[in-house]
Chains A and B, each alone.
Chain A
Amino acid sequence: MSEIDTSFDPGDADEVVRVRFVLNGCKTSCAVAPRDTLLDCLRNSLELTGTHAGCEMGACAACLVLLDGRAVHSCLMFAVQADGARIETIEGLSESGAIADLQAEFHRRNALQCGFCTPGMLINAHELLSQNAAPSRAEIRDALSGNYCRCTGYEAIVDAVAAAAARRAGGKTKDHAS
């Protein structure tokens, strides 16, 4: 049996631990309480407020980030769990240009109104297209089924993702054939 660390006082409200991860390509260190979610850490400590806090219980997906390349709810994990991980937020994906075409298609089609759900939508769509270059509309709807939008009714969002996929495949979409 390995040595057990008995120095901690379980349930200590003031306990602070240091977490390190690679955030948007940069080595980052942050002091957090174990109960701080990754979402709170990103927004409050690191001031990256593009990741949105909606339901804070995994229902709305406004808080999606990429964790080691996969879309996850940052409200459904504690920052300490992310120690050693590679995290990309909407800020990183925007600045790198990785989702510039998706953003352009969302813009072109008014696939947002208030914009609250948009970071999560973009991250989910980005992951979908990285795994499935030519998704059907049904596959796009299925992939986005956990992302709530209370403004647009989803049609324009699905259109935008489909258009971005078609453009990446080198095709022209109907809207732009003229």
Chain B
Amino acid sequence: MKAKAFSYLRARTIEEALAAHSQAGDDARFIAGGQSLVPTLALRLQAPKLLIDITHLAELRGIRRESDFLRIGALTRHCEVMGEPLIAEFAPLLRAAAPFVAHPAIRNRGTLGGSIALADPAAEFPAMVLALDAEIEIAGLSGVRRVKADDFFVDLFETALAPGELVTAIHVPLFKANQKIAFDELARRRGDYALVGCGMIATFDGAKIETVRIAFFAVGHVPTRARTAEAVLPGYALDAARIAAAQAVLEQDLAPPDSDEAPPAMRLHLARVLLGRLLGRIGESA
């Protein structure tokens, strides 16, 4: 349970962090909160020769309201997602999901950017940035680019990040007065990875849904949007019949893999239950 020897560099600038990664022949890892990285090093699932500590990069900190989005610095810790008033006001889906991420001591260290970059398919935040139609701000040696969440999560623990690129911020469209969010997950014990989890954000025109984005996690290799279920909702109020219609088509969106923890049919059933509950909650509050 001890990591293999590595060297450590506390980066002072983004440029220094990127250059060091490149110099190490990309046999390096960026470390921020380290709550997922350190166990993999302790278990020797990976053994980079260089760790580049990015936690002191001021450019990766802070939460700022821009004209039509909230820029959340990658180093924003999960406990800050829970406590920051700007996030509660303009990105309430992240606020709703945060208490479900692991346990308090993990939330004190873990960072939003780290969770997105790791892209654990069972984690809450990757699916929520997908539901929110957020953009991932990425720095590399060739400059800064932004990738839509829809294009960011590629496969199991695989993202649009190229080797040596760094997530610097998440851009979340500002929450509007005619929008509603809902989040929940089903886990055997509090703080465990969910058997199934879901978050959604709906825009209303009166009592009727105008648009909705629904994202599931722990249902496959990547956080997954329920596009077919999303498509049957616009133009309707969320009554029991419409919720049932969304539940009926959900199996076209999700194909949970088999696992010891839960067979595919069980996960799909739980996903339908969760979808019904969350649409019901949004409908009641609309």
Is the Cβ of B105 less than 8 Å from the Cβ of A73? yes
From known contacts A34-B8, A34-B51, infer whether A61 and B15 are also in contact, taking CB-CB under 8 Å.
Answer: no
Contact A2 B12 (CB under 8 A): yes
Which of A11, A40, A124 sits near B49, CB closer than 8 Å?
A11
Q: In the complex the two chains form, is A81's CB within 8 Å of B53's CB?
A: yes
Least CB separation from A13: chain B residue: B5
Extra pairs beyond A1-B16, A11-B49, A34-B5 (6, CB < 8 Å): A2-B12, A4-B19, A10-B28, A12-B5, A61-B105, A70-B105
Contact indicator A124/B42 (Cβ below 8 Å): no
Interface residue tally on A, bucketed by range: 35 or more
B220 in the interface (beta carbon within 8 A): no
Contact between chains at B34 and A77 (CB < 8 Å): yes
Are A6 and B2 CB-contacts (below 8 A) given A34-B51, A76-B38, A77-B109?
A: no
Q: A residues engaging B (CB < 8 A)?
A: 1-2, 4-6, 8-13, 15, 17, 33-35, 37, 40, 55-58, 61, 64, 67, 70-73, 75-78, 80-81, 83, 124, 127-128, 141-143, 145-147
Complex formed: what's the CA distance from A67 to B99 in Å? 20
Cβ of B64 under 8 Å from chain A: no
A contact patch SS:
loop
The complex places the Cα of A146 from the Cα of B191 at a distance, in Å, of 7
* Complex-state Cα separation, A2 to B53, whole angstroms: 16
B13 touches A2 (CB 8 A): yes
Q: Taking A34-B51, A70-B79, A143-B104 as contacts, is the C-beta distance between A17 and B8 under 8 angstroms?
A: yes
**Cα distance, A156 to B23, chains bound together (Å):** 54
Q: Is the CB of B23 within 8 A of A11?
A: no
State A128–B107 Cα separation when bound (angstroms): 13
Across the interface, name the chain B residue whose C-beta is closest to A1.
Answer: B15
B211 at the interface (CB under 8 A from A): no
Contacts of A33 in B (CB 8 A): 5
Q: Which residue of B lies closest to A141 (CB)?
A: B190
